[in-house]
Structure 1
Amino acid sequence: MKLHADRPDQFSITAYGPGWIAVNGERHSGALLLSAFAGVRPWACPRFEDLAAGHFEAVLTLDPVPPEVVLFGSGSRLRFAHPALLRPLFERRIGVETMDTAAACRTFNILAAEGRSVVAALFVD
């Protein structure tokens, strides 16, 4: 069953598995930042344990306009970043939803298809 129309002008997650995420058919094996309109780029934080506030500030540089919401995919299991690390987003009134990376991939596609301004910050493990 097709739930929404494809939008060829957007980036979407086309598949994912242990150790990789495919964006528009291209596989990526490291942590990444993804915007439906600006595309994908490596995230400078390779592991959850290395998270710092500056890593979340990088989310703000993807699109010319800050996103409505950031989906934080914490890897193969649900882990929450310390609230102090999310301060750069909270100060700009940007919502943050934390979930495992598989759930973040699915949620990203749904929100992007609705035309929402969404960025995903995803750990791949």
Structure 2
Amino acid sequence: MKLHLQQTGTSNVIRACERSMVKINDAVCTSSLIVTPDKLDPDWGITHASQLELEHLEQLLDYQPDIILLGTGNKHLLLEPRMMMSIMQKGIGIEVMTTDAACRTYNVLLGEDRAVLAALIIEENEA
């Protein structure tokens, strides 16, 4: 699915999101990634939401986001409540959704000039 948002400055805009890739500006990412308006880590190292540990989420705080969008792949999966609470108790919002929904939401929040971080899981072993 192609996503369109007028790019302002040097912000990282999600241009497309498909089952096995996400396009950030002109960069095609085929593995799980972390993106903020001004940073891109194209190799997050997570291949499925079941691998997520609290430490993975706490590492995202180093980017100093106001809100974290967690894209769990092609299926919406829930996080353990203790993981959600750990982030929310630090005053950071966290939303969990499918990766394509996280891509769309990221662009909306980017357009509102929010300090958004999207941690997007691209599953390697799709059926």
**What TM bracket, shorter-length normalisation?**
0.7 to 0.9
CA shift at 1:80, angstroms? 0.9
Moved more, 97-106 or 32-41: 32-41
State the partner residue of 2:120.
122
Which contiguous aligned blocks of 4+ residues in structure 1 show a shift greater than 3 angstroms? Answer: none
CA shift at 1:4, angstroms? 5.9
Residue 59 (structure 1) aligned with residue 60 (structure 2): yes
Moved more, 81-90 or 103-112: 81-90
Give the Cα separation in 2 of the matches to 1:44 and 1:59.
13
Structure-2-length-normalised TM-score = 0.85
Q: Which runs of 5 or more residues in structure 2 are unaligned?
A: none
State the partner residue of 1:81.
79
CA shift at 1:68, angstroms? 1.2
* Contact 1:73–1:100 (CA under 8 A) maintained in structure 2: yes
Any idea what the Cα deviations from partners look like across 1:59-111, whole Å, max 9, x if unmatched?
1123xxx2111011111011111122234422311011111110100110110
Give the Cα separation in 2 of the matches to 1:44 and 1:87.
23
Structure 2 counterpart of 1:90, one-letter code: M
Structure 1 counterpart of 2:59, one-letter code: A
Residue 47 (structure 1) aligned with residue 45 (structure 2): no
1:68 counterpart (66, 72, 79)? 66
State the partner residue of 1:99.
97
Percent of aligned positions that are identical: 27
- Structure 1 vs Structure 2 CA RMSD: 1.7
* Contact 1:20–1:124 (CA under 8 A) maintained in structure 2: yes
State the partner residue of 2:34.
33
User: SS at the partner of 2:22?
Assistant: strand
2:107 counterpart (106, 109, 122)? 109
Closer, same or farther in 2 for the Cα pair 1:85/1:115, shift >3 Å?
same
Q: Which runs of 5 or more residues in structure 1 are unaligned?
A: none
CA shift at 1:123, angstroms? 0.7
